Amino acid sequence: MNDRNHEDSYSISTDVEFGPLQLIDIPKIIEASKKDWQNFSLCEVNDCVVRLGVIHGEFHWHRHDHEDEFFYVVDGQLLIDIDDKVHDLQPGQGFMVPKGVLHRTRAPQRTAILMIEGKSVTPTGD
């Protein structure tokens, strides 16, 4: 899984699935996820999108030139590589990557994360 053609290997939906006043059953979405790398756009909050990632493996190195990105681990383990440092996030922990910072996310096991980022972000990077 380390050798990904990033445009073809990830299942990333940018279509927002839930509107205001709708219940979002995150555990149910996680349970129904069967692919190694799925990303769902759950809802919009002001000028941001809340996304759910159910992931296993690694994403490619990328940056977002104009938007910050926040990660929160629901379940599993998320590794965020920045330069030569690895940030190891466990359930209940969050981490913000500022715009313009080259980074890569990795999940050594099936992991569920919430991400908050600007609506205009390109999920695979700029």
Does residue 126 fall inside a structural domain? no
Q: Which pair of tokens denotes residue 30?
A: 């996680």
Number of domains comprising the chain: 1
Type of residue numbered 9: S
Residue 120 or residue 70, greater confidence = 70
pLDDT of residue 1: 37
- Is the pTM higher than 0.85? The answer reads yes
Match 């919009």 to its residue by tokens: 44
Rounded CA separation 96/28 (Å): 26
User: Which residue range forms the structural domain that includes residue 38?
Assistant: 6-118
Euclidean distance between the first and final Cα of the chain, in Å? 23
pLDDT for 16-55, tens place per residue? 999 999 999 999 999 999 888 899 999 999 999 999 999 9
pLDDT for 66-92, tens place per residue? 999 999 999 999 999 999 999 999 999
